[in-house]
Structure 1
Amino acid sequence: MRWRVRCALGVCLIGFAEGTCAHAWDLVRGGIHAYAFAPAALQVFFVALVVLDPLVVVLVARARPAGITLAGAVMAADVTANWIADWPLLRDDPGWLWRPVGLLPITLFGLFVLATMQPLRRALTTTRQPATPPRAPAAHP
């Protein structure tokens, strides 16, 4: 596997491991209502990330193409959910976007995951393809 692919996978692993810890910590501190600031559907999604994020970590660590697909889906949903939940804060104070923890890093990481999704899937798919045995030459009568 090429070093660029390994680096991109490493960034994904670090990001999703951090997400796992952040969501688990939120639940430890705030319980099931840790995300009460968000609409009910988003609260359920944010809690579900405690399962989805580590699942992505396991699949990406095993270099499974499905892990990259799941990573893209999770980040697309996560970025969208965070923008919806944080929009009132951002509308009232646009400088809030530039906080080092919150919407900006989630958005940047989401863009990274989505931008690298197809190249990573392609790299992992070609890496995992079984070698085809050589064909025997055709017999001529």
Structure 2
Amino acid sequence: MGKKKRIRSLAICVLRQGDRLLLHEGVDTVKGIRFGRPLGGGIEFGEHSREAVVREIREELGAEITDVELLGIMESIYVYEGEPGHEMVFVYSGRFVDESLYQRESLTITEGKRQFEAYWRSPQELQEQGILLVPEGLEDLL
């Protein structure tokens, strides 16, 4: 028996620099597509989604956010790397307390031992570079 599929609860934060969003970029090698997702992560049991998004940004970037407001909740059913996924995504907006972070071209995300970059991307840049904004339907909330 394979492991039981679960619905994950996530909280992500839309951080804006003008019309640009701070996105973690990834690749689905099975579909051959690039995607960008706002930063955030799993909500822990007993943790409010708002607390989770603040904690995730702190853990991933070592940065504090303020003006955290819920934009909406999305249900995301998708296939990534050939595996089906199902997430309930709490989408928040927020802004960095440290204004200097908006001047940087990219920010380094730390997840456990892994490190990768998050980039500021405008809708036009996403389109030009063929990067899909996920979760699908996110732009409707923005």
TM-score by length of 1: 0.29
Larger relative contact order (Cα-Cα within 8 Å, sequence gap ≥ 6): 2
Question: Larger Cα Rg: Structure 1 or Structure 2?
Answer: 1
TM-score scaled by length of structure 2: 0.29
Q: Which has the larger strand fraction?
A: 2
Return the structure number with greater helix share: 1
